[in-house]
Amino acid sequence: MKATFTFLFTLFLAFHLSGQTIPEKYDTPEKRSKIATEQMIEALPLSQGEIPAISRINLKYARIVQKQVIDPELNWWSAFFKMKEINSQREAELFPLLNDTQIRNFNKLKAKTRKEMMGML
């Protein structure tokens, strides 16, 4: 979960900080949160009953990232630490909603995502 969220926002942040145009697929908090939720449904997996709450949390934090990181055009260093803080807050809201298997799947996804991101930088 966090990995998906982190991947999407790190990708967005990489485009933002490099001055490149953000792909339309990722250009709004709503689009980013929808993609994150869809990926979490498949990877964790999420039950139908879990989806609405997870979706709301994803949207909440996508909007926070937009407001606190992207819109102010933070430098890379500041953006990194702000994203880390925001992701910790998001994880604190998400983890109580997940079972142990989902958290393990999240950690696997997180490790995979980190490797992919390192390859992009």
SS3 71: coil
Distance CA 106, CA 95 (A): 10
Name the band, by pLDDT with cuts 50, 70 and 90, for residue 67: very high
- The answer to whether the beta carbons of residues 53 and 97 sit under 8 Å apart is yes
Q: Give the amino acid at 41.
A: I
pLDDT recorded at residue 108: 86
Q: How many CB atoms lie within 10 A of CB 84?
A: 10
Lookup: tokens for 6:
């982190």
Q: Is the pLDDT of residue 5 over 70?
A: no
Which pTM was predicted? 0.78
Greater confidence (121 vs 54) lies with: 54
Mean pLDDT within 84-92:
92
pLDDT recorded at residue 117: 64
Distance CA 30, CA 34 (A): 6
Q: Is the pLDDT of residue 97 over 90?
A: yes
Count the residues in the chain. Answer: 121
Greater confidence (120 vs 56) lies with: 56
Distance CA 120, CA 112 (A): 13
